[in-house]
């Protein structure tokens, strides 16, 4: 039996987030204090032990509040990925540090020309005779990587199987180039030249690594979808307020049916996207093919709805919506960024097609 | 109907292609490809280079400095300018003030301003839109009062493109508040942007670029001869200009160039080793854009060859063209994948090693996509255009 309503805990979670975002520009340490960074970490390992649906409630509030923080990357993607890998002392340390807010972790998977693919990495990990690894290669457009202390690095072991490695940003041989993204997050490129790693820095390899990576990115996608829904709600509310107050040709804009019908279409798209967010959440534990198709179906819907809702929020604001000072444009840019973090609508439509027979069955 | 291009047209195209490509400096061509907003230096230099050939305003009548080419040749010329990656010349002097002056202006104004527009020595901006008057020009609040022979201007303008480049403004202001704007309440003026009481403030747009401005007039004194044409004719002149603007805003030459560039990007960008152009969804999107640009071009050619004088046609061109421009930039960003996330500032755009380890056509694409959200808003929003079509074509 599905329950679509928020639980009592989720309502409280949402309200605490809304209150925090109304008050100030929140700091990373605030998120740690509220327990949000450890939401998807087991209680035994220093976290809260919440569900992905709980995290989605929070991500939606981040979207609504337009909070430019790497919350989904760190707490929604990297933390549960590390928790699912075979435990080691090093991993336990990083996981605890995430929950405490003392370390930021980012996923370094993409490379020049890899588009949104998660396999076929040119970055090479070479096994050393006495144990340990040598890593050489380059990573590009690591989302939220500018401030990261630690990276989960995807590399090809001996040119044949995927390995996920844990590397520190300040290790010898690593150079980082940090830059801004369109939505005022940051990203970085990494160069890795003969980076030496101890043996236990390989956290998982082969088919296990591949499945863990895909499952983690799918979870992150659904959380980004939640953030997108929050941003759409806020942008739509701004547009509704604008056309209710702005006058042109001696009438408020809301007296023009073409404009109120546009708002109605935005509402319809948003509600269906919200349903697809819930469907995506429901399918995260399904077997990999089914999950992949379902998450991509969610993303196609949410990304296209986001483009429409936030794009039309700008259109309804007219020139005012084009100003960098106006909030609607910022929501639009966040939606654009979400729609190309782990795949755009075209990518997800093709991915859905590739896995569709599984989803249909 | 009879459709064939004369051999003269083909020879003209070849001639222009060769000359224009040799005229555009390589660094200017690169900036034109990458930047969302042209630099003032490039606009000035290109204006001067064109003027040296006598080609600064091919669309003007020959007696005022035009080339005497027929509309088809002008179209071919503009297409070759775009193909050579020349910047689109600064719009306001050449497209608005020039035609306005040779159509309605005094001989004195023509003699004084037309040569400096052709040479590019004097840059113009258009002072129409205001904070509370975007689509609704009739609600303008900026006032011009008579003070003896002179005028005093109070008020302000918003979304004034290239005001930070401009020496002069074509100003639309209320001269008679007791009369409806359409019935003689508005007049047009030539305003010196450096006059005391004129303040400019940059308005940064969502691409984080600076092309538009807010302008404040604090008791700006205009000389008697600042009035353009007749007092009270501002509405007539504005309508004359907006009709012009909608045809130029079809931007066929630029759209054709941009679609060609899309195909190049689609062949070079790869998704898992496969060129993007081989992906069925990309091939279809690209084909649809090429087909729609062809439709746009033939609609413009029709209108140029046999002007309908029907505002519904111009409005339809504006709708189609603005939507095509948005789709082109949407697809361009889709083609480069995650690189669409990266914010490239102006310095990054001209650097040889852009962040994200990307090809040199990438910087600027995302900013262009963002700025082009404005195409369905400016020059009369598409909602306004649809209203015009419904009225003109069906009487509703």
CATH number, domain of A89, equals 1.10.540.10
A113–B341 C-beta distance less than 8 A = no
Is A300 part of a structural domain of the chain? yes
Q: Is the pLDDT of residue A210 over 70?
A: yes
ipTM of the complex: 0.95
* Shared-domain flag, residues A215 and A162: no
For residue B9, give Cα distances in angstroms to A308, B14, B40, B41. 43, 9, 33, 32
* Shared-domain flag, residues B228 and B342: no
* Shared-domain flag, residues A222 and A113: no
| pLDDT given at position A23 | 85
Q: B-chain residues within 8 Å CB-CB of A324?
A: 204-206, 208
* Shared-domain flag, residues A267 and A353: yes
Interface test with A, best of B338, B345, B390 (most A CBs within 10 A): B338
Q: A-chain residues within 8 Å CB-CB of B140?
A: none
* Shared-domain flag, residues A326 and A260: yes
State phi, psi for B232 to the nearest 5 degrees: 85, 0
Last residue of a domain, one of A84, A100, A116: A100
Last residue of a domain, one of B41, B71, B89: B89
* Shared-domain flag, residues A225 and A354: yes
What span, in angstroms and rounded, lies between the C-alpha atoms of A123 and A154? 8
DSSP A230: H
* Shared-domain flag, residues A181 and A213: no
* Shared-domain flag, residues A184 and A256: no
Residue of chain B nearest A251, judged by CA positions: B136
* Shared-domain flag, residues B144 and B227: yes
> For chain B (length 396 residues), average pLDDT per consecutive 10?
85 97 96 94 97 96 95 93 96 95 96 97 95 81 95 97 98 94 93 98 97 98 96 93 74 95 96 91 98 96 85 91 97 96 86 88 95 94 94 94
Strands B124-127 and B168-174: parallel
* Shared-domain flag, residues A213 and A338: yes
B205–A340 C-beta distance less than 8 A = no
- What's the full length of chain A, in residues? 361
| pLDDT given at position B380 | 87
| pLDDT given at position A319 | 94
Q: What is the mean pLDDT of residues A188-198?
A: 98
Q: Which of A120, A189, A347 sits opposite B356 (nearest CB)?
A: A189
* Shared-domain flag, residues A262 and A352: yes
Is A41 part of a structural domain of the chain? yes
For chain A, what is the mean pLDDT? 96
* Shared-domain flag, residues B68 and B169: no
Last residue of a domain, one of A63, A83, A100: A100
Q: Which of A120, A180, A340 sits opposite B338 (nearest CB)?
A: A340
We report the CATH number of the domain holding residue A127 as 2.40.110.10
Q: A-chain residues within 8 Å CB-CB of B378?
A: 319
* Shared-domain flag, residues B202 and B137: yes
Q: A-chain residues within 8 Å CB-CB of B376?
A: 315
Is B370 part of a structural domain of the chain? yes
Query: B295 — contact with chain A (CB < 8 Å)?
Result: no
* Shared-domain flag, residues A185 and A229: no
Q: A-chain residues within 8 Å CB-CB of B381?
A: 315, 318
What domain range includes position B41?
7-89
Is B1 part of a structural domain of the chain? no
- Detail the DSSP E strand segments found in chain B: 124-127, 143-147, 150-158, 168-174, 186-192, 198-204, 210-222, 227-228, 270-271, 274-275
| pLDDT given at position A90 | 95
Last residue of a domain, one of A75, A100, A125: A100
Q: B-chain residues within 8 Å CB-CB of A341?
A: 338, 341
Contacts of B283 (CB under 8 A, 6+ apart): B277
* Shared-domain flag, residues A163 and A187: yes
Q: Which of B366, B371, B377 sits opposite A318 (nearest CB)?
A: B377
* Shared-domain flag, residues B226 and B157: yes
* Shared-domain flag, residues B129 and B53: no
Smallest CA–CA separation between B252 and chain A, in Å? 23
Last residue of a domain, one of B63, B89, B115: B89
| pLDDT given at position B246 | 62
* Shared-domain flag, residues B76 and B171: no
Confidence of residue A360 (pLDDT cuts 50, 70, 90): low
Q: Is the pLDDT of residue A196 over 60?
A: yes
Which of B88, B74, B84 lies closest to B12 in space, CA to CA?
Answer: B74
Query: B333 — contact with chain A (CB < 8 Å)?
Result: yes
Considering its fold, how many domains does chain B have in total? 3
Is B66 part of a structural domain of the chain? yes
Is A231 part of a structural domain of the chain? yes
Is A177 part of a structural domain of the chain? yes
pLDDT, tens digit, for every residue of A339-354?
999 999 999 999 999 9
Is B180 part of a structural domain of the chain? yes
State phi, psi for B200 to the nearest 5 degrees: -115, 140
**Beta-ladder partners of B202:** B213
Smallest CA–CA separation between B167 and chain A, in Å? 24
- The tokens for B214 are 């807010």
What domain range includes position A47?
8-100
Is A181 part of a structural domain of the chain? yes
Query: A142 — contact with chain B (CB < 8 Å)?
Result: no
* Shared-domain flag, residues B34 and B65: yes
| pLDDT given at position B250 | 86
Considering its fold, how many domains does chain A have in total? 3
């Amino acid at each position: 039996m599905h329950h679509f309503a928020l639980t009592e805990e989720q309502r409280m979670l949402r309200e605490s987030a809304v209150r925090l975002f109304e008050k100030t520009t929140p700091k990373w340490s605030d998120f740690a204090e509220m327990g949000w960074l450890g939401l998807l970490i087991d209680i035994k390992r220093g976290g809260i032990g919440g569900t992905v649906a709980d995290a989605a409630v929070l991500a939606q509030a981040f979207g609504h509040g337009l909070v430019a923080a790497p919350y989904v990357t760190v707490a929604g993607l990297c933390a549960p990925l590390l928790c699912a890998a075979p435990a080691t002392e090093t991993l336990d340390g990083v996981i605890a540090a995430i929950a405490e807010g003392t370390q930021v972790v980012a996923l370094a998977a993409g490379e020049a020309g890899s588009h949104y693919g998660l396999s076929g990495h040119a970055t090479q990990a070479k096994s050393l005779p006495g144990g340990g690894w040598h890593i050489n290669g380059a990573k590009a457009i690591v989302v939220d990587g500018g401030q990261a202390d630690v990276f989960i690095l995807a590399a090809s072991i001996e040119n044949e199987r995927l390995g996920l490695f844990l590397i520190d940003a300040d290790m010898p041989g690593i150079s980082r180039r940090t830059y801004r993204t369109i939505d005022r997050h940051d990203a970085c490129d990494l160069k890795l030249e003969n980076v030496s790693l101890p043996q236990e820095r390989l956290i998982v390899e082969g088919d296990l690594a591949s499945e863990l990576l895909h499952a983690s990115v799918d979870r992150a996608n659904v959380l980004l979808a939640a953030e997108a829904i929050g941003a759409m709600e806020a942008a739509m509310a701004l547009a509704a307020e604008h056309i209710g107050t702005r006058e042109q040709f001696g009438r408020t804009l809301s007296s023009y049916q073409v404009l109120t019908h546009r708002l109605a279409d935005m509402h319809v798209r948003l509600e269906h996207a919200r349903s697809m967010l819930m469907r995506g959440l429901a399918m995260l534990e399904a077997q990999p093919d089914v999950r992949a198709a379902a998450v991509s179906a969610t993303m196609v819907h949410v990304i296209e709805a986001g483009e429409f809702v936030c794009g039309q929020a700008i259109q309804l604001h007219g020139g005012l919506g084009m100003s960098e000072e106006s909030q609607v444009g910022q929501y639009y840019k966040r939606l654009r960024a979400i729609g190309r973090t782990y795949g755009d609508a075209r990518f997800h439509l093709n991915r859905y097609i590739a896995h569709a027979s599984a989803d249909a069955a | 109907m009879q459709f064939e291009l004369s051999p003269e047209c083909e020879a003209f195209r070849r001639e222009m292609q060769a000359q224009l490509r040799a005229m555009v400096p390589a660094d200017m061509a690169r900036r034109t490809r990458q930047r969302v907003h042209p630099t003032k230096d490039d606009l000035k230099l290109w204006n001067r280079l064109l003027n040296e050939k006598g080609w600064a305003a091919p669309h003007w009548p020959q007696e005022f400095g035009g080339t005497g080419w027929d509309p088809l040749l002008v179209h071919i010329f503009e297409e070759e300018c775009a193909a050579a990656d020349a910047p689109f010349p600064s719009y306001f002097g050449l497209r608005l003030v020039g035609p306005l002056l040779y159509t309605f202006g005094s001989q004195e104004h023509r003699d004084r301003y037309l040569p400096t527009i052709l040479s590019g020595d004097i840059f113009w901006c258009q002072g129409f839109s205001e904070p509370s008057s975007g689509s609704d020009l009739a609600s303008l609040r900026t006032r011009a009062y008579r003070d003896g022979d002179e005028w005093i201007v109070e008020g302000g303008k918003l979304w004034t493109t290239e005001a930070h480049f401009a020496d002069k403004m074509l100003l639309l202001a209320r001269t008679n508040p007791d009369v409806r704007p359409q019935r003689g309440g508005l007049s047009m003026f030539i305003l010196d942007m450096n006059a005391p009481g004129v303040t400019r403030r940059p308005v940064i747009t969502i691409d984080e670029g600076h092309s538009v401005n807010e302008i404040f007039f604090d008791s700006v004194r205009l000389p008697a001869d600042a009035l353009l044409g007749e007092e009270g004719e501002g509405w007539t002149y504005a309508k004359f200009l907006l009709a012009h603007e909608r045809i130029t805003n079809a931007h066929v030459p630029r759209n054709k160039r941009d679609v060609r560039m899309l195909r190049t990007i689609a062949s070079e960008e790869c998704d898992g080793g496969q060129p993007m152009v081989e992906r069925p969804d990309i091939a279809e999107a690209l084909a649809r854009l090429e087909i729609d640009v062809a439709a746009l071009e033939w609609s413009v050619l029709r209108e140029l060859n046999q002007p309908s004088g029907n505002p519904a046609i111009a409005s339809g061109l504006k709708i189609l063209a603005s939507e095509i421009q948005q789709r082109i930039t949407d697809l361009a960003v889709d083609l480069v994948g995650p690189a669409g996330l990266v914010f490239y500032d102006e310095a990054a755009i001209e650097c040889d090693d852009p962040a994200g380890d990307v090809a040199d056509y990438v910087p600027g694409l995302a900013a262009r996509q963002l700025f082009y959200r404005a195409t369905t808003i400016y020059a009369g929003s598409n909602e306004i255009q649809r209203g015009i079509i419904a009225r003109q074509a069906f009487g509703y």
